[in-house]
Amino acid sequence: MAMINYCTILFPLLAAIMIYSVSANFHQDVEITWGDGRGQITNNGDLLTLSLDKSSGSGFQSKNEYLFGKIDMQIKLVAGNSAGTVTAYYLKSPGSTWDEIDFEFLGNLSGDPYTLHTNVFTQGKGDREQQFKLWFDPTTDFHTYSILWNPQRIIFSVDGTPIREFKNMESQGTLFPKNQPMRMYSSLWNAEDWATRGGLVKTDWSKAPFTASYRGFSEEACVVSNGKSSCSNGSGQGSGSGSWLSQELDSTGQERMRWVQSNYMIYNYCTDAKRFPQGLPRECLSA
């Protein structure tokens, strides 16, 4: 599915900076890490499926680690009664003070929409949730979900439409993930204790196995190997002014994001004063 780019068109970086730009062959780019055969790569590496039954879910991770990048994945979510299931697609670093950038798709009863949950963790600290309903059925076809992560911002996009921007506001005391390399992960698992209507609706195991499908994985990224980045200065702060390394939302992108947030956002931590009785987080006050 073609990506709609509301930002400045990407230009090649200067020769001094080496960026990986790859379209997927899942055999080459990822490894299935759990699920005892429930994760499968087929179609000569073009298609990956994860399945979930009452015994186990399944998951995979990228072979590369990234310190900044633009990661795209086309996903077709579990169809029918997906209540209790979670399909997660995210970037994460290891350790107890991890960084993480999340897409989570919370299943629902047949005919009811998925909840798209987003979050950003820095040094193990999260609580930055925004949730959305999608404006299409994500189970009938593949749709592209993108994470753009550069030193200035994180942009979550769906089919090229930005839905959320998390800016680097370290100067105002807000933590921002910029020092820890992350891998891409995805998994399909059972979370019936909380995923659908706060756990009131349980997984219907008579519908198992549940299956999510993946294709079109691509990475334009500073890849870290043996502690060294493929971006020559190590920080990813290159001088390719039109690239994802310095990409930001133009006026059209901002307008599209406002449209999504006005019509499809169902939770925003920045407006939840009851959750933060001591005051909203700094980045909410500066937004």
User: Cβ distance 141 to 149 under 8 Å?
Assistant: no
* Buried/exposed code over 240-257 (b: 16+ C-beta within 10 A; e: otherwise): beebbbbbebeeebeebb
User: Cβ distance 29 to 216 under 8 Å?
Assistant: no
Rounded to an integer, what distance in angstroms lies between the CA atom of residue 72 and that of residue 221?
11
User: Is residue 11 classed exposed, middle or buried when 0-12, 13-18 and 19+ CB atoms within 10 A define those classes?
Assistant: exposed
CA distances from 156 to 47, 249, 282 (A): 23, 11, 20
User: Cβ distance 164 to 130 under 8 Å?
Assistant: yes
| List 31, 65, 100, 220, catalytic entry | 100
Element (H, E) at 260: helix 251-264
Would residue 104 show up in a list of annotated catalytic residues for this protein? Answer: yes
Helix, strand or coil, per DSSP, at residue 31? strand
Is the N-terminal amide bond of 209 cis, ω within 30° of 0?
A: yes
CA distances from 35 to 38, 57, 125 (A): 5, 6, 28
Would residue 100 show up in a list of annotated catalytic residues for this protein? Answer: yes
- C-alpha count within 13 angstroms, C-beta hemisphere, residue 111: 0
Q: Which of 60, 242, 61, 256 is nearest to 157 (CA)?
A: 256
| List 104, 192, 220, 283, catalytic entry | 104
What positions carry a catalytic annotation?
100, 104
